[in-house]
Structure 1
Amino acid sequence: MPPVGKDSGVVASEGPAADQTGQSALSADDAPFPLTDVDRWVLSLTDEQFPYHDWQDMTDIIRRNDLSTLKRKPSDLRKYMKWTAETKAEYGSMTNYLLCHRLPHTWGKPPFVPASLVPFEDPSDYRVLINDWPYGLTSDMTHIVVWTRTIIATDNTVGDMTSESRGHVTDFVHRFFIEKLGPGGEDKVLFFKNWVALQSVRALEHIHVIVRDVPPDVLEEWTKELECHRLAN
């Protein structure tokens, strides 16, 4: 990726970019969440100039824990900024929207009371969903988010997972995703948790799972709503 700055070889747009509907998108200064330097660089690009993350790139980024380099496609980032601003204006917060439309109503409202204090131990405490706003990945990959009402402990520096938390998450990813893919499954699954400073939805715990070459029926099985997520009639 070219360096961010005046010598990047990329000319920033002069005014608010338009999304694919022709409507003006938000400028970087009006972003409804903190933008990284990478985000600002992406906003200077067209979709045609954008370098997609491939599997090797994602593997290297996650291995280095270099999560600030993850990026969305320019048009998707602009849409995400616009949608986030509109959603916060309507619902007051992203948390309110997610609890209303995407996450189990059995969770109630924060502060949550999980069935287990161990992250991802009890199925009623987590919900697996396809990410509505994925990173800019090549077409062989799918971006999944696993939301949980159980606290995932982080350190007090950059907000990265503690070693104990990472162990719980690793066990869950292996049990829920890798084992269900059978032999070679470990070569098709990556996971990470954004540092607190990089999260656009900070009030709800979640991890990211990236999978490749997984058929639609398996994705559907992973993301189906469970009975424990439904309110009793």
Structure 2
Amino acid sequence: MTVEDLPFWLVNVPRDQWPATCPDFLINANPKDQRILSTPDQEYHRLTWAEVQDIVKSNQIGLFQRAPSDLRKYLAYSAKLKKEYGAVVNFVLKERLQWADLIPKGPPFTNPDDIKILYNDWPYGIDKRIVHLVVWTKFELNEDPTTGDLTSEARQEIEDYVQKTFCSQVDPRNVIWFKNWRSLKSVHAIEHFHVMLFDADPVFLRRITNGDVPLSEKVGSAVVPGDG
């Protein structure tokens, strides 16, 4: 049987781990996810730094996607968290951010307690030299209600923060940031934006994330390809 003949939920799964039926966490997979999951890992193209920059600069954020096996693990783990915590946002708030509330202690970007920088737990299919961080905030980042994009004031606030926090330590040519459109967010209730760094110093990364480790590295093979 060739890859083309396999249902999407068996691709990239070792034959001895094939489930008899489609796993619950993949039953409602959307067409985009099904297409990605149908792609053999060895045929997947990881985005280069230049391609990442082009996507962000052209605001085509929807082009970001996870590598096939990473997407499968992400969907499996997300389903697990929903069962255990009721919603992924509850897990993020309690376990990852360890915030008791989302009440800011000051105006945007003025109080360090209102901000936390962590790794993206399930990064996109990009060059492995690119580090994907998420900046979580207790304060809102205002959006234009008509376009759904950031207001010019909010965009400038983020730009100033990124310049101060990241570009002072990393070559500005190796730093880029973006904020997902509301329709693309996987966690809606907690404000956040993304920062990507190319070939960043590990010492700086440990300091800026307070030694954080992404979930994808912590769970590893604990997410079984066959049954999630």
Q: Which TM bucket (shorter chain)?
A: 0.7 to 0.9
1:113 matched to 2:111:
no
Task: Indicate how the Cα distance of structure 1 residues 124 and 86 shifts in structure 2: closer, same or farther if over 3 A, else same.
Answer: same
**Paired positions, count:** 204
Check 1:162–1:216 CA distance in 2 against 1; reply closer, same or farther (3 A cut).
same
Judged with a 3 Å threshold, the aligned counterparts in structure 2 of structure 1 residues 40 and 67 are, in CA distance, closer, same or farther, namely farther
2:222 is aligned to: none
Alpha-carbon distance in structure 2 between the residues aligned to 1:27 and 1:104: 27
Cα deviation, 1:145-171, whole Å, max 9, x if unaligned, reads 111111111122453212111111111
Q: Which residue of 1 aligns with 2:88?
A: 94
Secondary structure, in 3 states, of the residue corresponding to 1:100? helix
Give aligned-pair identity as a percent: 35
Which residue in the other structure is 1:156 paired with? Answer: 145
TM-score, length of structure 2 as denominator length: 0.81
Q: Distance in 1 between matches of 2:147 and 2:76?
A: 27
Matched, 1:65 2:63: no
Task: Report if the CA contact (8 A) 2:85-2:91 is conserved.
Answer: yes
Question: 1:23/1:200 Cα in 2 relative to 1: closer, same or farther (>3 Å)?
Answer: farther
1:80-115 CA distance string (max 9 Å, x none): 01110110110011121012211033xx23xx2201
Of 74, 80, 95 in structure 1, the residue corresponding to residue 74 of structure 2 is 80
Within 2, Cα distance between the matches of 1:74 and 1:124?
36
| Deviation (angstroms), 1:193 | 0.5
Tell me the amino acid that sits aligned with residue 188 of structure 1.
N
Aligned to 1:198: 184
Match of 1:50 among 25, 44, 47: 44
More relative contact order, 1 or 2 (CA 8 Å, 6+ apart): 2
Contact 2:137–2:191 (CA under 8 A) maintained in structure 1: yes
Q: What is the CA–CA distance in structure 2 between the aligned matches of 1:222 and 1:168, rounded to whole Å?
A: 19
Range moving further from structure 2, 140-149 or 95-104: 95-104
> Would you say 1:216 and 2:214 are equivalent positions?
no
Question: What residue ranges of structure 1 are gaps of 5+ in the alignment?
Answer: 1-9, 226-233
Question: Structure 2: any 5+ residue segments left out of the alignment?
Answer: 212-228
Report which stretch shifted further, 88-97 or 13-22.
13-22
2:120 aligns with 131
Rounded to whole Å, the distance in 2 between the matches of 1:101 and 1:19 is 30
Cα deviation, residue 210, structure 1: 0.6
1:72–1:135 CA contact under 8 A, matched in 2 = yes
CA contact (8 A) 1:53 1:138 kept: yes
C-alpha spacing 1:20/1:14, structure 2 compared with 1 (3 Å)? closer
Given that residues 117 and 135 in structure 2 are in contact (C-alpha distance below 8 angstroms), is that contact kept between their aligned partners in structure 1? yes
